[in-house]
Structure 1
Amino acid sequence: MGHTTGGPDSAKRRLRRELLAVRNALPADDLREAAAALARHALDLPELAGASTVAAYVSVGGEPGTLALLEALRARGVRVLLPALLPDDDLDWGAYEGEGSLARVRHGGRMALFEPSGERLGPDAVTDADVVLLPGLAVDARGMRLGRGGGSYDRVLARLARSGSRASLVVLLYDGEVVERVPEEPHDAPVHAVVTPSGVRRFS
């Protein structure tokens, strides 16, 4: 029986590779349908119904699409904050003013991100959010989220915890990315809910 060595970190890397391979193989039609369904379910969340400020992100590549959701939130009069990656991998924030307010930014050799082109509000702006929509690759039955491994959102979550924020943490995923268990490290904290194209699942 092959026993694999390595802690949560190598297990996370392996799981990330597998999940990204599935995402990258999704046809464009599936991506479009998933984005529309995701927006519908997310907009039904009571947390979002009562939110005046939502921190979100612009999906890239095979990520579950967020643009329809961003537009719908903006149409509701919600203040939507979007991240801008800083050189040290922390996140600054700017307001979403519609699709025309997004700039395509390439950070080194990584894939290009869409970031808000307007005024930068500083890394602490996220602490104003009532709901924080998080990217991820998986979430497990306990609400533990597997991120992409860049560490940017670990900093955001730490900042929220330090500020005493009561923000609801919601991760946006595909149905197959809700798994039994993801490897965790001591600093990992659970999210409150996951939204997928087939609905919402809450964690206590």
Structure 2
Amino acid sequence: MDKLKLRAEIEAVRASLPENERHSASVRTRESLLDRPWVQMAGLVACYWSTGTEPETHGLVFALWKHGATVILPVLRDDNDLDWAVYDGPDTLAPGRFGIMEPVDTRRGVDAIRTAALVIVPALAVDRSTGVRLGRGGGSYDRALARVGPNVPTVALLHEGELREGVPAEPHDLPVRYAALPSGIVRVVAGRS
């Protein structure tokens, strides 16, 4: 299956999920993540502010921040690369490009992700065998993941059924170490980080 077809299939399934089920699933994913010692000990966490039918991160970002982590969120640049800024509570966000909420704090630069102890990224699917994630096609997160150290846990948030075999990949597609689903956290076999 090619990327466009798989994206369309997953988007359709996500859109068919009732909002209360998506929210309940996101809560289970968040609680499972927050139970992990490597999440609890991460002082600087790169995450994202979810939109639409993505697994919801608003509660996760808030919980990480309330537990003392410094959370940086992406700011989409004109070249589709990701700059980063510190989240300092729900009142410190404003709509950015495409209406996605972004921190209003000082931009830290594209290399700010290099200092993160934990990186949480969006995905439409993750390959169970290779850890390669399927994104939305802009390449922003592949560029960001290329800057992450080899020992930093990288986690893609997914709905059930989105961890699968045979996710199409190109040379620039980078793997993640973990897939976080409502049913639990799965370490993928060949994840890079």
* TM bracket, shorter-chain basis: over 0.9
Counterpart of 2:4 (choices 5, 9, 13) is: 13
Partner of 2:167: 182
Correspondence for 2:156 among 154, 168, 171: 171
- TM-superposed CA distance for 1:159, in Å, is 2.3
CA contact (8 A) 1:93 1:125 kept: yes
Query: Deviations for 1:28-81, whole angstroms, at most 9, x for unmatched residues?
Result: 111221221111011122321221100000000000000111111111100100
Is 2:90 the counterpart of 1:115? Answer: no
Contact 1:127 1:165 in 2 (8 A): no
TM-score, with length taken from structure 1: 0.88
Counterpart-to-counterpart distance in 2, 1:165 and 1:120: 24
Question: Aligned match of 2:83 in 76, 83, 92?
Answer: 92
The question of whether the paired residues in 1 share the 8 Å contact of 2:142 and 2:174 is answered with no
Q: Deviations over 1:97-118 (max 9, x none)?
A: 11111112243xxxx2010111
Indicate the residue corresponding to 1:124 in structure 2.
111
Q: Which amino acid aligns with 2:181?
A: T
Moved over 6 A (4+): none
Q: C-alpha root-mean-square deviation of aligned residues, in Å?
A: 1.4
Give aligned-pair identity as a percent: 46
Amino acid at match of 2:107: R
Unaligned runs of 5+ in 2: none
Which structure: larger Rg?
1
Structure 1 residue runs of 5 or longer lacking an equivalent are 1-9
1:5 alignment counterpart: none
Secondary structure of residue in 1 paired with 2:105: coil
How many residue pairs end up in the alignment?
188
User: So what's the TM-score if we normalise by structure 2?
Assistant: 0.92
Letter matched to residue 136 of structure 1: A
